[in-house]
Chains A and B, each alone.
Chain A
Amino acid sequence: MNKKLIFLIVAVLILFFLPLIYKASFFIHVLILIFMFAMASQAWDLVGGYTGQISFGNAIFFGIGAYTSTLLYMHWSVTPWIGMLVGGVVAVIVALIVGYPAFKLKGHYFLLATIGIGEIIRTLFLNWPAVGGAQGIFIPFEKESFWNFQFHSSKLPYYYIILTLFILTFLVSYFVEKSKLGFYFKAIREDEDAAKAMGIHTQKFKFVAFAISAFLTAITGTFYAQYLMYIDPNSVMPFMLSTQIVLVAILGGMGYLFGPLLGSLVLIPLSELTRVLLGSSGSGFHLVIYGLLIMLISMYKPAGLAGWIQEWNFNKKKAAGGEVDGTTINS
């Protein structure tokens, strides 16, 4: 236990000092994206990995976060920090409205419904002049400050903000997993009828999972808006974003605390590097590599990287002849 804690503290320290040592702008940009996707994916995993309700529509919450803070700032000069929290609350409300019909569906049908709802909301924003329509919104440049959530001279402040937000999201997941909620979420994932028979108000707890997830995803959306200083429906709520959030979690291992971070650490650099190195050929080759990796993972390691590491740890312990509680391992 102590060993784990020391490992975590060291890891956080390394992450803190890393961009101070290696200062390349592109490097910091990739780090920012890694933690942004890790955060969105960690939030998604509460619904998808733990509760087993695979949502392919989480980009709408991301977009709602981005739009809420941006519109509040444009019209009433509300600082994006407050806009961020308001965006979270709006996303929770939308999640409850969307969840009401969607949670009546199970499995693939739930997934299809979330795709449909996501596309409806994106199309709505595309054709809604009051929120900038398809042209989107440029966030006006202000004086660089923490309060304004704008930093022009360096990307570093953005990095520290997203790192902090990610750690908070991770802690939320950690406490959910250890609490009654975590047990109930997993029970719903494993067997909804059995969960009901054990006294779980499954509908209510699905809502709880969806609400926490929506809130955290919206916060990521606000961050993204402030980072890019420009939003439009096709950049903050496209289906591709929903998919990427899901893929990061699948690659890393759904329902594992470290899954989203691991997935993001592999997938985002890969996606960015292949885009930079191969994207200019115009042939979309980077997407081929990306797709191939996902196929390999789903074929050979469906439990994802986190599941793989757990398995490897188990085998190592067994080889050492130590005491194994590894009957918990996926076989």
Chain B
Amino acid sequence: MAPLLTVENVTKEFSGIVANKDVNFEINEGEIVSLIGPNGAGKTTMFSMIAGALSPSSGSIVFNGEEISKKQAFEICHLGIARTFQVVRVLKQMTVLENVIVGALSRTNSVKIARGEAENILKVTGLYLKKDYLGKNLTLADMKRLEVAKALATKPKLLLLDEVMAGLTPVETNEAVELLREIHGMGITLFIVEHVMEAIMPVSDRIIVLDAGKKIAEGSPEEVVNDERVIKAYLGDRYHARS
């Protein structure tokens, strides 16, 4: 079966600075794949290119058999890729419910239907009791949940999660991992950028490691944590010793 997403020789330059260089990887349907790497490795840039917020300088991105590297973000959303933002982009002066309704409206013209779907998603993501809060009045953990809920509402096949656990307490992190499992259980393929290694190691099928814009390793979590280059570039000796 053809992979759900194929990234081929993708390069992104910002006026001379290379954020991604000849990156290749694939994501299959039903997988949970994580993208890790030190700060500035080009993880968010890669996400932005897949989601259509940026377009690659060269290379191709194929989703579900369709070339998407030149498409705009809203078109890609309709094709079935949704993303969350690393720096949360909650619609601040709208309620939690309204935030999610906006996402749901990408699949229907009826506000009534969208409202029903949004309420279900809020129940799944544990935000239902706060549905009438304004976006700006949420805690960071809840804003990150809302980011996920907004993205889920667009009914994606592939969900890109950009550091949804950064800045969360351990308890909140555990809850977030639970949420990831639940979303995966709905049949959504997950592609995750994360720094909280302990949290994503157990849930990831595969891990891709970027450093300075290039892919330096790819494999199962065990393979990756034992890879010399990865340890040197990112994990550090301490993590290696501990695992």
Contact = CB atoms under 8 A, between A and B. Distances in A.
A181 to B, nearest CB: 10
Given A180-B109, A180-B111, A327-B133, A196 B102 contact: no
A330 B137 CA distance: 9
Interface string B94-112: 1100100111011001110
Nearest to A198: B103
A194 B102 CA distance: 10
A325 B132 contact: yes
Contacts of B70: none
B91 A190 contact: yes
Contacts of A179: 111
A325 B96 CA distance: 12
A329 B132 CA distance: 10
Interface residues of A, number: 27
B91 A197 contact: no
Main secondary structure of the interface of A (DSSP, over half): helix
B74 A187 contact: no
Interface in B1-53: 51-53
Interface stretch (B75-83, B165-173, B182-190, B235-243): B75-83
A180 B106 CA distance: 10
B132 A197 contact: no
Main secondary structure of the interface of B (DSSP, over half): mixed
Contacts, number: 98
Given A179-B111, A196-B53, A327-B133, A191 B102 contact: no
Contacts of A189: 93
A178 interface: yes
Contacts of A191: 89-92
Contacts of B91: 186-187, 190-191, 194
Nearest to B93: A190
A328 B133 contact: yes
B73 to A, nearest CB: 4
Contact of A197 (B85, B93, B98): B85
A23 interface: no
Interface string A173-199: 000001110011011011101111111
Interface string A199-236: 11110000000000000000000000000000000000
A2 interface: no
Given A327-B133, A328-B132, A331-B137, A196 B94 contact: no
Given A196-B73, A199-B74, A327-B134, A183 B89 contact: no
B213 to A, nearest CB: 23
Nearest to A327: B133
A178 B112 CA distance: 10
A327 B102 contact: no
Given A197-B73, A198-B154, A327 B111 contact: no
Interface string A308-331: 000000000000000001011111
Nearest to A178: B111
Interface string A244-272: 00000000000100000000000000000
Contacts of B151: 197-198
Contact of B83 (A180, A197, A201): A197
A70 B91 CA distance: 44
Nearest to B155: A199
B150 interface: yes
B54 to A, nearest CB: 11
Given A186-B102, A187-B102, 6 more contacts: A194-B91, A198-B82, A199-B74, A199-B78, A199-B106, A199-B154
7 contacts: A191-B89, A197-B77, A198-B151, A199-B154, A201-B74, A327-B95, A331-B137
